[in-house]
Structure formats: structure tokens, C-alpha cells
Amino acid sequence: MSPRSTVAETRRTRARIIDRSVALASVDGLEGLTIGRLASDLGLSKAGVLGHFGTKEALQLATLERACALFTALVWDPAAAVRPGLCRLRAVCRSWIDYLEHAREIFPGGCLFTTAAVEFDAHDGPVRRNVARLLMVWRRRLAGEVRLAVEAGELPADTDPEQVVHELTGIYLALNQALQLLRDPLAATRTRRALDRLLPAAGC
């Protein structure tokens, strides 16, 4: 086997491990990730799994970064070409609902970031800092769209972008809980109603 083939195979194996870690962490949390479970699920040795990361913390951080890339592809990318401001914000919100409702093959346990935030909010260290960093990046992106909507006259001039983002976050935390814990068949419908009150359509 050539060195190039070996490198490519190593990358594929690492990607398989991380993708499986994302699925498991959405159900069992990042702390629930175990080298033994991953090795068993993927038909690898424990040493083969651990050798790609070195530590469980490194695996957790790699899992978070992969989950972020998947979230971006599922929630932001479908709306990226929509007109900036209110229309794009509403498109992102629609994709966000779809992600929580339908991305079960990738995130069988619902939003991994919600799970991780609850797991690590009382801890310190690199994993908590990374969870907080990724959530703040997302909040800043949403707030940027709110500001564009205000500048375009699509939302009132006195709109507080941070307040809108705070309320949006609450709406989606409630949606994740209603879907995961309560199995509420009306969860997505109620979320759309809440969004219409918070972000009137204005021709979008």
C-alpha cells in the first residue's frame, strides 16, 4: 500500500469515528462517548480508535467541530442565498426547524449542542469553552441578520438584536424539548406560530 493510500485510509477511518461520535453524543452526551462503544460499533480495535485522537477530550472536541459543520450545512447553507436580513433570518429559522425535526440519521438524539450545553454548563475546561464559543458564533450570526433587517426597515428601528436572538434561542430550546422529551406532534407548528409573532413575514 502506498503512503498516499495509507493517509487516505487514515482520514476515512477518522471521519467514520467522528461521524459515529456525533450520532452517539446526540443521544448519550459527549461524556457518554466511550472508546469501547465506538470500537465495537465500527469494527475497530480500541487502540485503533484511540490512536486517532490520543485522549477522550480530543475526541470530544473533534466531535463538536464536526457537529458544527453538519449543523451549518443543514441550517445555514440552505438559506445562504436568500436576501440578507429578515428573509434570510426566517429561512434560517425554517431550516432550523427541519434540522430538529428530520435530521435523525445524523443526530438521532436531537440537538447535540443543547445536550452538550446542559452537560458542561457547570464545568470548566476546553470542552465547555468550545461549546460556549460555537453557540456564541451562532448567536452573533443571527444577530447580524437582525441588524440587517433593522437597517432595511424590515424590523422596527428600536429592535434589540440581542433580545431577538435570546428569544429565538428559547423558542428552539423549547422545540428540541417538545420533540425529544414530550414527543409533541404539534411542536413544529407551535414553533412556526412563535416565529411569526417574533419575526413577521414582511413579504418573505
Cβ atoms of 198 and 168 closer than 8 Å: yes
Domain span at residue 122 reads: 56-198
The whole-number pLDDT of residue 114 equals 95
Predicted local distance difference test score (pLDDT) of residue 9: 87
Low-confidence ranges of the chain (pLDDT < 70): 1-5
Number of domains in the chain: 1
Phi and psi of 168, rounded to 5°?
-60, -45
CATH number at residue 155: 1.10.357.10
Cell numbers linked to 173: 430550546
pLDDT at 10: 83
Helices (H), the chain: 3-28, 35-42, 46-50, 56-71, 86-102, 112-120, 126-151, 161-180, 187-198
Cell numbers 441578520 correspond to 145
- Give domain status of residue 47, yes or no: no
Does some domain include residue 37?
no
What's the pLDDT at 58?
A: 95
Residue 92 belongs to a domain: yes
Specify whether the CB–CB gap between 180 and 109 falls below 8 A: yes
pLDDT at residue 25 in the model: 96
Query: All 3 cell numbers of residue 153?
Result: 426597515
Confidence at residue 2, expressed as pLDDT on a 0 to 100 scale: 55
What is the DSSP secondary structure assignment for residue 83, as one 8-state letter?
P
| Residue 129 lies inside a defined structural domain of this protein | yes
Any domain includes 158: yes
Q: Is residue 25 part of a domain?
A: no
Residue 97 lies in a domain: yes
What average pLDDT is seen over the chain? 94
User: Rg (Cα) of the chain, in Å, rounded?
Assistant: 19
Q: How far is CA 24 from CA 16, 64, 72, 191, 200, in A?
A: 12, 12, 19, 26, 37
**Residues 93, 113 contacting (CB under 8 angstroms):** no
Q: How far is Cα 188 from Cα 80, in angstroms, rounded to an integer?
A: 22
Q: Is the pTM of this model over 0.75?
A: yes
